[in-house]
Structure 1
Amino acid sequence: MAEAGDQALLRRFLLGLAEGMNAAADSVDKIRDTLVQVSRANGREDTDFVVLPTVIIIQTGAGEEGRVAIRSAVNASFRFDQIAALYRLIDDAKRAEIAPLDGIKRLNDIGAMKPSHGWVVRTFGHAVLTTGLALLLAPTWEGALVAFVLGAFIGVAKLVRSPTLQIVFPVFAAFVCAIAVFLIAPYFAVGDPIKLLIAPLATFLPGGVLTTAVVELAAGQMLAGASRLVFGLVQLSLLAFGILAAGTLVGVGSSSYVPLQTNEAFPWWTAMVGVLLFAIGNYLHFSAPPRTFGWVLLVLLVAYGGQVVGSALIGASVSGFIGALAMTPVVLWIATLRHGAPSQLTFLPAFWLLVPGAAGLVGLTEAIGTTRGFEDFTEALISIMSIALGVLIGTALYRVVHQGAEELADFHIEVPASLTEEEKPPFWARLVPGTPRTFWRRRRRRPTPDHRGDASSTPAATEESSPFSQATES
């Protein structure tokens, strides 16, 4: 009974870890690898997992003794402080430094964590985040001011914690922001109105979801990757619908959905200010731990620098490949440091900075609202694929350098114990004395009446018939 109780606690603990990593937007292949390591650290080699974005199945034990636990994952998302606490717990669990029961208590504490910043600071952080992204996408001072105001409005609205409202809130946010931008654009030099719309909607864009989906598909996780890809495209469609509905209400022409070229030249340091503001906004809005700010800023600078270099060398549509390829080893290296930051905490802001979701939203809006067709949307999908490919290659190169290139596929099917037959030794082996099931041993166990009194044969017969000897040989 004690062992069964320990297995039940371990299953619940592993389910909680998987659900937490899902809330941290981690890929299912990484979640499964983590669960395997934690299970082995707790002395369980006979554990199997099925991890999907919304369903988690864990089995402990093999054959008829196996027990299965199923959890339907909730649609939750963690702040950066919760992600940091979760990965500290995972590191302890991998080293078997925490019991499953204590791990379950810590998971509950992580889920109930209050933000380290108040609602005013978090709202201001969202406004700063939006302003920094606006300086990168539509660099005009008027556009940055409009983005700050819209970012503050969205930051306040996001404080409402209602699962029902969260379903329709992205459409509402896109609708309100689009109306404001379309009404202001004729009177103020806000730059490209479509790109300016991306800034306040940045935290709704499924850039990380789409990139994770492509990574999972490339890793062979077809169910998880396909479901995430459809989910991300539906999110983009809802945002595009909100923009198009606002354009229809205001009465804008189809040309208003086409990105405009900005003639105003900004100094080079404007982009650096935008990246810095973007990092500060993420730190404040998502309540990131103070020690992780420098690491997030470093990854953002590497990602943006790689994107700029890629745009100059191979073009803007696949520039995200260079940015993702440059940032991925840095992210994984930071995660291995003693005072580093979890990979997801630095990955997510970099995904938003590379803006795969923004490119998809612009392309989808143009495809529906104009007569230009799906050319721009196709370019957006190519941009998403290039970023995912950069993440894949960067991860592979890092693992090859630090773990070696040799990997063996584990393909083995256990046969039920009740159907397993004991392997019989070959006939020639049974002719050799001293081997299991030898003919000579059976003959020596049957002493004849003429040799019972023979002192030389009695010890041998006694040794062969000893229970300890039989148990040792068998």
Structure 2
Amino acid sequence: MTADKLDRSDLSAMTFVREATVAMCNTGVPTSYVTDRMQAVSAAFGVDVTILALPTGVFIQHPDGTMNIALAQGTVAGSNSFRLDQLADLQHLLDDVTGGRCDAADALDRLHAISTTQPRYRLAAVLVGHALFGVGFGLLLEPTLLAIPVYAVMSAVIGVLGILVSSRRMAAAVFPAIAAFLVGVVMNLVAPHVGESATPAIVPPLVSLLPVAAMTFAVLDLSTGDAIAGTSRIAVAIQRLLLMAFGAYAASTLVPATAPISHHMSLVWGPWLGVAVFSVGCLLTQSASLRTLPYLMLIAYVTFATQYVTTQWAGPIIGGFSAGAASVLASMSLRRLPKAPPFYAGFAPVLWLIVPGAVGLQGAVNFGQNGGAAAAGQIGLTGMILVAIAAGILVVTACRSLVPQHSPLSSENP
């Protein structure tokens, strides 16, 4: 190989390492995973660098002491700008690189294609996905039958507005408060007539805005020593919850809710249907392939059933621990099957089902309305369940590190 070709290869490898690390940050996954994954990629290309990943950017140090800094585009600490299909494709690309099946130039071309790919589904399907996303979560709360169409309509409205403001930075920053205010006003007026209490009813249309992944990954980052990443994620997550709580509180102040004035039977079987509806909504909103739906549903049902049983037996904190462990075990076990999603692409969606962002939002709203120990207790319980979920994830991944390298569970370190 000529020196010129070698230089071009090294340049492509360095460019790929930098841009792929930024892309990994854009997925919103824990920074410890980003660092470990990209150090393995750089080693596969023979690139001697030290990588420090943060939620909003990347520092890459070369052997001569020079430093490259690259900012993650279109994201803030605690959020992500990559869809589920892009996350899955990126994970497959990194697997090919570390497996020696892709050279630097081809890897860079594939990365650019992944970063610019358009959503798989048209706007109408995405809006249906938002409606199903909200209805699926609403079914977890055992609603009345009349509440379901309300959840569907309001979830689709919030989805439309979210798409419209997504490209406007300042509008996107205040959108959680505006969305919570709009939903709060509607639910304060409508919820009593469909047999629901207003405060819990505001959550399903807003569930797509809850920073559930950020809260979980913040605890994971803090637990693995990434204090800067963990602190920034949790700060952004808390800010978003407070913005939503402010919007809901303003709505309840201007348009006070009444007690349910119409009584209807709750759908006690709703949670078991809700998991499936939620999975379909997640697939449509996140542009995932239809072939991944059975895997997403199976991981979601295993996780939900585990959390449900252990919560009934030992309370919500132990339920959170077992759900965190079950979600990781299910995702790791299934990813070896044909056409299964990679680890984080299968694991991340179920966080909305097990992370108690809804409880934290309700607690913040109740605290603003009434104050008192009960609301503070809801917020404290949210924190404890978050720690328990992260502990379950950490225990499983720590045990996994002891698995022999030839085991089916030993590839793609989560």
TM over 0.5: yes
Match of 1:90 in 2: 94
Percent sequence identity over aligned pairs:
30
Matched, 1:198 2:197: no
Quote the Cα distance in structure 2 between the aligned partners of 1:263 and 1:327.
Answer: 34
> In the alignment, is the contact (CA less than 8 A) between 1:58 and 1:68 conserved in 2?
yes
Provide closer, same or farther for how the CA distance between residues 178 and 138 of structure 1 changes in structure 2, counting only shifts above 3 A: farther
SS in 2 for 1:387: helix
Query: Partner amino acid for 2:308?
Result: V
- More relative contact order, 1 or 2 (CA 8 Å, 6+ apart): 2
Match of 2:378 in 1: 376
Quote the Cα distance in structure 1 between the aligned partners of 2:11 and 2:237.
Answer: 35
CA RMSD of aligned residues (A): 2.2
Counterpart among 152, 156, 163 of residue 156 in structure 2: 152
Provide closer, same or farther for how the CA distance between residues 338 and 402 of structure 1 changes in structure 2, counting only shifts above 3 A: farther
> In the alignment, is the contact (CA less than 8 A) between 1:299 and 1:331 conserved in 2?
yes
The answer for unaligned runs of 5 or more in structure 1 is 405-474
Deviation of the 1:379 alpha carbon: 1.1
Provide closer, same or farther for how the CA distance between residues 220 and 263 of structure 1 changes in structure 2, counting only shifts above 3 A: farther
Match of 1:207 in 2: 212
Match of 2:112 in 1: 108
Quote the Cα distance in structure 2 between the aligned partners of 1:128 and 1:265.
Answer: 19
Deviation of the 1:333 alpha carbon: 2.4
SS in 1 for 2:194: coil
Match of 2:174 in 1: 168
Query: Partner amino acid for 2:359?
Result: A
Matched, 1:344 2:344: yes
Spell out the pairing of 1:11-90 with structure 2 (5 A cutoff).
11-44=14-47, 46-60=48-62, 62=63, 65-74=64-73, 75=75, 76-90=80-94
SS in 1 for 2:398: helix
> In the alignment, is the contact (CA less than 8 A) between 1:309 and 1:322 conserved in 2?
no
> In the alignment, is the contact (CA less than 8 A) between 1:80 and 1:289 conserved in 2?
no
Query: Partner amino acid for 1:68?
Result: M
Q: Which range moved further: 89-98 or 297-306?
A: 89-98
Deviation of the 1:278 alpha carbon: 0.6
Deviation of the 1:352 alpha carbon: 0.2
Query: Partner amino acid for 1:50?
Result: L
Can you list the C-alpha shifts for 1:407-434, whole angstroms capped at 9, x where unaligned?
A: xxxxxxxxxxxxxxxxxxxxxxxxxxxx
Query: Partner amino acid for 1:86?
Result: L
Counterpart among 113, 120, 135 of residue 139 in structure 2: 135
Match of 1:316 in 2: 316
Match of 1:266 in 2: 267
Deviation of the 1:209 alpha carbon: 0.4
Match of 1:401 in 2: 403
Deviation of the 1:317 alpha carbon: 4.4
Can you list the C-alpha shifts for 1:132-171, whole angstroms capped at 9, x where unaligned?
A: 1101024211222210111111122222242322212211
Provide closer, same or farther for how the CA distance between residues 68 and 326 of structure 1 changes in structure 2, counting only shifts above 3 A: same
Deviation of the 1:101 alpha carbon: 2.7
Quote the Cα distance in structure 2 between the aligned partners of 1:88 and 1:317.
Answer: 34
Quote the Cα distance in structure 2 between the aligned partners of 1:98 and 1:273.
Answer: 42
> In the alignment, is the contact (CA less than 8 A) between 1:18 and 1:31 conserved in 2?
yes
Match of 1:429 in 2: none
Match of 1:362 in 2: 362
Give the TM-score normalised by the residue count of structure 1.
Answer: 0.78
Deviation of the 1:264 alpha carbon: 4.0
Can you list the C-alpha shifts for 1:357-383, whole angstroms capped at 9, x where unaligned?
A: 212212222222212242221111111
Match of 1:285 in 2: 285
Quote the Cα distance in structure 2 between the aligned partners of 1:48 and 1:139.
Answer: 51
Deviation of the 1:397 alpha carbon: 2.4
Quote the Cα distance in structure 2 between the aligned partners of 1:47 and 1:402.
Answer: 28
Counterpart among 125, 128, 140 of residue 124 in structure 1: 128
Q: Which range moved further: 294-303 or 380-389?
A: 380-389
Bigger Rg, which one = 1
Deviation of the 1:263 alpha carbon: 8.9
Deviation of the 1:334 alpha carbon: 2.6
Quote the Cα distance in structure 1 between the aligned partners of 2:322 and 2:32.
Answer: 24
Match of 2:411 in 1: none
Can you list the C-alpha shifts for 1:37-70, whole angstroms capped at 9, x where unaligned?
A: 11111123x321111111201123x2xx354321
SS in 1 for 2:55: coil
Match of 2:184 in 1: 178
Match of 1:239 in 2: 244
> In the alignment, is the contact (CA less than 8 A) between 1:367 and 1:376 conserved in 2?
no
Quote the Cα distance in structure 1 between the aligned partners of 2:200 and 2:387.
Answer: 21
Can you list the C-alpha shifts for 1:269-325, whole angstroms capped at 9, x where unaligned?
A: x32211111111111121101221111001100111011112111113442211111
Provide closer, same or farther for how the CA distance between residues 199 and 318 of structure 1 changes in structure 2, counting only shifts above 3 A: farther
Query: Partner amino acid for 2:67?
Result: V
Provide closer, same or farther for how the CA distance between residues 180 and 149 of structure 1 changes in structure 2, counting only shifts above 3 A: same
Quote the Cα distance in structure 1 between the aligned partners of 2:257 and 2:134.
Answer: 24
> In the alignment, is the contact (CA less than 8 A) between 1:216 and 1:222 conserved in 2?
yes
Quote the Cα distance in structure 2 between the aligned partners of 1:150 and 1:263.
Answer: 20
Can you list the C-alpha shifts for 1:189-231, whole angstroms capped at 9, x where unaligned?
A: 1x23222211111111011101101011111111111111111
SS in 1 for 2:192: coil
The answer for unaligned runs of 5 or more in structure 2 is 407-414
Counterpart among 201, 221, 227 of residue 222 in structure 1: 227
Match of 1:332 in 2: 332
Provide closer, same or farther for how the CA distance between residues 336 and 30 of structure 1 changes in structure 2, counting only shifts above 3 A: farther
Match of 2:387 in 1: 385
Quote the Cα distance in structure 1 between the aligned partners of 2:98 and 2:388.
Answer: 33
Match of 1:451 in 2: none
Query: Partner amino acid for 2:381?
Result: E
> In the alignment, is the contact (CA less than 8 A) between 2:142 and 2:266 conserved in 1?
no
> In the alignment, is the contact (CA less than 8 A) between 1:320 and 1:386 conserved in 2?
yes
Q: How many residues get paired?
A: 392
SS in 1 for 2:59: strand
Match of 2:410 in 1: none
